[in-house]
């Protein structure tokens, strides 16, 4: 059994929405009805330039449209990627230094998070000492749309 679902004004208001299409979107020789919903948050309706129903001759179901105000070009923030230089000579020194890290200090902690923090601190200190990091910035990209 199919149940009819309608977008009632009270449901729209409860969700702070406003129905932007008010014309019928399905038109036949005997009836017309609004079966398509295009809604916006009430606070954002100022962004709407125009909405409407397009007239066609090939179907009784008419397409709808909505045009928003706004820039057609959106800038994206810079992206930063951290890189490290790994040379064979640095790797050999790093491996030697790892042998002298006091890993047994982790045994005094019972909490796994504390042990993980100690391990990470020791490891990152050794990494930072042997493998310098550099943050590379990528230029802003523009998306046209």
For residues 84-107, average pLDDT:
88
Residue 90 has phi, psi (to 5 degrees) of: -65, -35
- At residue 60, the pLDDT reads 77
Query: What pTM value is reported for the model?
Result: 0.39
In the structure, what pLDDT confidence band is assigned to residue 115 with cuts at 50, 70 and 90? very high
Residue 78 in tokens: 């810079």
88 and 132 fall within a common domain:
yes
The total of structural domains in the chain comes to 2
26 and 82 fall within a common domain:
no
CA separation, residue 64 to residues 13, 35, 39, 93, 101 (Å): 22, 10, 12, 67, 67
Domain span including residue 33: 9-70
Radius of gyration of the chain (CA): 31
Tell me whether residue 23 is in a domain.
yes
What is the tens place of the pLDDT at every residue in 5-38? 555 667 767 777 777 777 888 888 888 887 777 7
What is the tens place of the pLDDT at every residue in 99-110? 999 999 989 999
CB 38 within 8 A of CB 20: yes
Tell me whether residue 62 is in a domain.
yes
- For residue 91, the number of C-alpha atoms closer than 13 Å in the C-beta half-sphere is 5
Q: Judge whether residue 2 has pLDDT over 90.
A: no
Q: What share of the chain is helix, strand, coil (3-state, %, to 5)?
A: 35, 30, 40
Q: How far apart are CA 66 and CA 21, in angstroms?
A: 9
Tell me whether residue 127 is in a domain.
yes
Q: Average pLDDT of the chain?
A: 76
Q: Judge whether residue 120 has pLDDT over 80.
A: yes
For residues 85-110, average pLDDT:
89
**Domain closes at, from 21, 47, 70:** 70
Q: How far apart are CA 102 and CA 114, in angstroms?
A: 15
Please provide the size of the chain in residues: 145
DSSP-H helix ranges across 1-145: 9-14, 88-99, 112-130
45 and 60 fall within a common domain:
yes
């Amino acid at each position: 059994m199919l149940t009819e679902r309608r977008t009632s004004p009270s449901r729209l208001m409860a969700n702070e929405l406003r129905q932007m299409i008010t014309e019928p979107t399905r038109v036949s020789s005997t009836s017309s009805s609004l079966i398509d919903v295009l809604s916006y948050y009430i606070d954002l309706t100022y962004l709407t330039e125009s909405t409407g129903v397009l007239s066609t001759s090939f179907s009784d179901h008419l397409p709808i449209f909505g045009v928003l105000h706004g820039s057609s070009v959106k800038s994206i923030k810079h992206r930063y990627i951290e890189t490290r230089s790994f040379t064979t000579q640095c790797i050999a020194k790093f491996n030697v230094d790892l042998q002298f890290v006091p890993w047994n200090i982790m045994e005094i902690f019972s909490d796994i998070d504390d042990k993980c923090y100690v391990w990470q601190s020791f490891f990152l200190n050794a990494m930072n000492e042997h493998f310098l990091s550099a943050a590379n910035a990528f230029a802003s990209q523009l998306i046209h749309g």
